[in-house]
Amino acid sequence: MAAEGIDRHIDSQDKEKIAFSGMDFQEKERSATFFQKDAEVLLSRSLSGSVDILDIKEALANDSGARKYLGESFRLLGKEYPKNIEGGYFIRIKKGKTVELPIQACLFLKAQGFKQKVHNLVIVEEGAKVNLITGCSASRAAKEGFHLGISEFYVEKGAYLNFTMIHNFREDTSVKPMSVAVVKENGTFVSNYVCLKPVKEVVMYPTAIISGRNGRVSFNSLILSYPDSVQDIGSRIILNAEGGQGEIISRAVSVGGKIIARGHLKAGEKNTKGHLECRGLVLSEKGGIHAIPELETDLQDVDLSHEAAIGKINKEEIDYLCSRGMTASEAQSTIVRGFMDVNILALPEIIKNEIKKLEEKMLEDAF
């Protein structure tokens, strides 16, 4: 079991914290596991013949297929990416295979002041289907840590990737993920992001490029922002193939932190469709939310829309629940939990309850 290999490096308190980012140390309902502490890969193990999971360095050294993909998505965007990385995972799902149990990966910060820089590469081959949970977490000892995660996702023809990322760092951790997904014909990429624990700073703007006909992408996020934190979080979908569909949904709650909720839908090909929905609640005078939804196209035959709503909780809703016997505090908590409903995430059934339980525990701590 994963726990045996990791035990020597990770104590029980840290394990408990890591479990909050979706890691199942027993691997009972997982098809593969990757675990990296700071720059050291402690475990990469596949329990399924359909899944290759390796330290990225190993994959790049021995697998020409992996090398072919590396950096390709950034080149498509015309963007540079940091090369001085130490670790990260390589995951490949073999052609036509459906992997029933999710794959899990954890990137963990342990040493004080450590700057973790990883490059992850995920390839879902033609017709393959998989769910991947990545938890990013920091030890109680990892003061002022930094995490840079470069991730590339390649969803080949007719493939399906459901990627759930849970951030569970520290109030003094800075995080800068850089992600690009490339979705081919009839491929589907679903990205779910959950950040309900304190963090100092998150800057991320994952981008998905639909490059094949009828490709689909959805980005869904739940963000809770605590005092003294800044979370500049967005999602971008570039619809570059006919029939492409994209959706961005976010729920952001500030209990004192600053949230910049970005979203960008760009239609570069006709007969494409996209919708962006951003809702935010500001529960403290100190915090704030700045929603920046963007729709862009030079074409006529596209359908792009957005809706954004930000504000405090409606007093009428609080009073209503009080008229059912709740205290004002219970009413607020009920409304916020409802607002942060995990059902807005497009989670696969197999992990929905698990993520829901994690979310409930995290929100219990906050409210």
Partner 1 sequence: MLKIKNATITAGSKKIVDNVTFSVKEGEVLSLFGPNGSGKSTLIKAIIGLGSCSLDKGEVIFKGKEISHLSITERVKRGLGIMHQYPPKIRGVKLIQIAQFLCSDQQKIKVLAQKLALEDHLQRELNVNFSGGEMKRAELFQLILQDADFLLLDEPESGVDIENISIMGKVLDEYLKNSHKSAIIITHTGYILDYVNSEKGCVMFEGKLWCKGKPKEIFNSVRESGYEKCKGCQWQQKV
What are the residues binding partner 1 (CB under 8 A)?
A: 314, 316-317, 319-328, 334-335, 337-341
d(CA 147, CA 107): 9
Write down the residue that tokens 């998150």 correspond to: 202
CB nearer partner 1, residue 78 or residue 325: 325
Nearest to partner 1 of 321, 366 (CB atom) = 321
> Whose Cβ is closer to partner 1: residue 44's or residue 332's?
332
Q: Which is nearer to partner 1, 142 or 318 (CB)?
A: 318
CB of 74 to partner 1, least distance (A): 37
Given the complex with partner 1, which of 148 and 261 has the nearer CB atom?
261
Q: Please state the closest distance from residue 314 (CB atom) to partner 1, in A.
A: 7
Q: How far is the CB of 20 from partner 1 (least distance, A)?
A: 22
* 3-state DSSP assignment of residue 163: strand
CB 269 within 8 A of CB 240: yes
Nearest-approach distance from CB 343 to partner 1, in angstroms = 8
CA 57 to chain centre: 23
Identify whether the C-beta of residue 190 lies closer than 8 Å to the C-beta of residue 155.
Answer: no
Decide whether 143 or 306 has the Cβ nearer to partner 1: 306
Exposed/middle/buried for residue 300 (C-beta within 10 Å: 0-12, 13-18, 19+): exposed
Dist. CA 62–CA 16, nearest whole Å: 35
Strand-strand pairing, 40-46 and 32-37: antiparallel
CB of 307 to partner 1, least distance (A): 13
Q: For the CB of residue 348, give the shortest distance to partner 1 in the complex, in Å.
A: 20
> CB of residue 336 vs partner 1: minimum separation in angstroms?
9
Contacts of 162 (CB under 8 A, 6+ apart): 130, 131, 132, 190, 192, 346, 347, 348
Q: What b-and-e string marks burial along 197-213, b requiring 16 or more CB atoms within 10 Å of the CB?
A: bbbbbbebebbbbbbbb
Of the two residues 76 and 321, which places its CB atom closer to partner 1 in the complex? 321
Backbone angles phi, psi at 271, to 5 degrees: 55, 45
Measuring CA to CA, how many Å separate 235 from each of 154, 197, 203?
A: 17, 20, 11
